[in-house]
């Protein structure tokens, strides 16, 4: 009896890992929503799978159950890394189709932190006689959707600060010239494990002036053969829009760049010139000389027209920009790379 249970635990973990792998294909595509995968399991075999593929599109469970045309058997198990939703958002509740299609057992990875769900999806399914169990592989489920959870519980993205410094503690040259600190191996690591894992990268305009960075993921190693190389959005804090017109960040994939400018400082003609080049300007209010951070967070996480919001952000500097987030206590994770530029 004990060994059967142990086998089931292993199988549950394997199926949940598959949900997470499917879910992670949606990085950068679901806006401020959750990355979710779902699999349908019969006698230990996955017979159907789906994921939430884009902002406003069908959730993973609905997508799976609408595409799977076969009969549902009483012993079939639906796995999903997030509690099924029970509210009407941009799509109908997933709990409806789960009940309608005759699913009898659901295993979930983590509860939904969205107050509209927060356990109500589980309770609704249980009230309809379904067996609902979880959490399974909770740490990995929470890690994948830590941005989604931060937006729902803190009203801001999950924020990682990244700094590079030399062995003797320098982060820049004193004369304002660029200083290469990290090695190619470190760049490969940070492009793979930092930049490719967030919805957006953010820097201050002075770093653009000094370093003219590309801020892309060109050194990232491919982790999942089913996904193309991923490019996060790039935000620049630039209240007066003093960014040089031909910065790499404005000429390479300009549609991936969003300039955050001050409502009453950014020149209107500059905004329209940038817009003609496909570069978005997000206008945020100032509180004194600095952006009102609460208002900025709301702008970052809230979908508006063709902007779908973000849930996680890598703040790459420089010091004034790091300080903005530190002072506000809005840092979830600090990464320091120590290099000699070799």
Ligand X SMILES: NC(=O)c1ccc[n+]([C@@H]2O[C@H](COP(=O)([O-])OP(=O)(O)OC[C@H]3O[C@@H](n4cnc5c(N)ncnc54)[C@H](OP(=O)(O)O)[C@@H]3O)[C@@H](O)[C@H]2O)c1
Catalytic residue among 61, 66, 83, 333: 61
81 binds ligand X (CB under 6 A): no
Provide CB contacts within 8 A for 262, sequence distance 6+: 239, 240, 283, 284, 285, 286, 291
Question: Binding residue for ligand X (CB under 6 A) from 65, 106, 110, 172?
Answer: 172
211 binds ligand X (CB under 6 A): yes
The answer to whether 323 touches 331, Cβ cutoff 8 Å, is no
94 binds ligand X (CB under 6 A): no
Stretch that binds ligand X, among 118-126, 149-157, 220-228, 312-320 (CB under 6 A): 312-320
Q: Which is nearer to ligand X, 131 or 173 (CB)?
A: 173
Question: Binding residue for ligand X (CB under 6 A) from 163, 214, 283, 295?
Answer: 163
80 binds ligand X (CB under 6 A): no
Sheet holding 333-339, edge to edge: 280-284, 257-262, 233-237, 200-204, 312-317, 158-166, 333-339
Q: Is 150 helix (H, G, I), strand (E, B) or coil?
A: helix
Site string for ligand X, 218-257 (x = CB under 6 A): -------------------x-xx-x---------------
Exposed, middle or buried by CB within 10 Å (0-12, 13-18, 19+), for 118?
Answer: middle
How many chain residues are in contact with ligand X, going by CB under 6 A? 26
281 binds ligand X (CB under 6 A): no
Provide CB contacts within 8 A for 201, sequence distance 6+: 195, 215, 232, 233, 234, 235, 313, 314, 315, 316
Report, in Å, the least distance between residue 305 CB and ligand X: 24
User: Is 61 part of the annotated catalytic residue set?
Assistant: yes
Distance CA 101, CA 125 (A): 12
Q: What does the binding site for ligand X look like in residue numbers (CB under 6 A)?
A: 163-165, 171-172, 181, 203-207, 210-211, 237, 239-240, 242, 290-291, 316-321, 324
């Amino acid at each position: 009896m004990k060994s059967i249970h142990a086998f089931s635990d292993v199988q549950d973990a394997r199926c949940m890992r598959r949900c997470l792998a499917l879910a992670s294909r949606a990085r950068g595509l679901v806006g401020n929503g959750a990355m979710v995968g779902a699999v349908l399991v019969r006698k230990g075999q996955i017979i159907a799978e789906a994921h939430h593929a884009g902002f406003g599109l069908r959730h993973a469970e609905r997508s799976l159950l609408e595409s799977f045309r076969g009969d549902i058997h009483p012993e079939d198990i639906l796995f999903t890394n997030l509690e099924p939703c029970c509210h009407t958002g941009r799509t109908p509740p997933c709990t409806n189709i789960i009940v309608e299609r005759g699913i009898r057992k659901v295993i979930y990875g983590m509860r939904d932190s969205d107050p509209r769900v927060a356990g109500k999806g589980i309770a609704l399914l249980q009230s309809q006689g379904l067996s609902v169990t979880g959490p399974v592989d909770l740490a990995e489920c929470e890690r994948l959707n830590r941005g989604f959870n931060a937006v729902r519980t803190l009203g801001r993205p999950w924020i990682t600060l990244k700094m590079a410094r030399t062995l003797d503690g320098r982060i820049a040259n004193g004369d304002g010239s660029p200083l290469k600190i990290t090695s190619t191996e470190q760049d490969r690591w940070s492009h793979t494990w930092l930049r490719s894992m967030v919805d957006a990268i953010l820097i201050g305009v002075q770093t653009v002036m000094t370093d003219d960075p590309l801020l892309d993921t060109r050194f990232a190693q491919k982790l999942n053969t089913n996904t193309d190389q991923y490019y996060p959005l790039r935000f620049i804090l630039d209240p007066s829009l003093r960014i040089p017109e031909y910065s790499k960040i404005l000429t390479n994939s300009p549609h991936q760049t969003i300039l955050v400018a001050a409502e009453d400082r950014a020149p209107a003609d500059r905004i329209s010139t940038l817009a003609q080049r496909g570069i978005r300007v997000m206008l945020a209010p100032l509180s004194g000389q600095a952006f009102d951070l609460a208002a900025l967070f709301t702008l970052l996480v809230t979908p508006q027209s063709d902007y779908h919001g973000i849930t996680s952000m890598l703040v790459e500097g420089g010091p004034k920009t790091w300080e903005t987030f530190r002072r506000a206590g809005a840092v979830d994770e600090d990464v320091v790379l120590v290099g000699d530029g070799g």
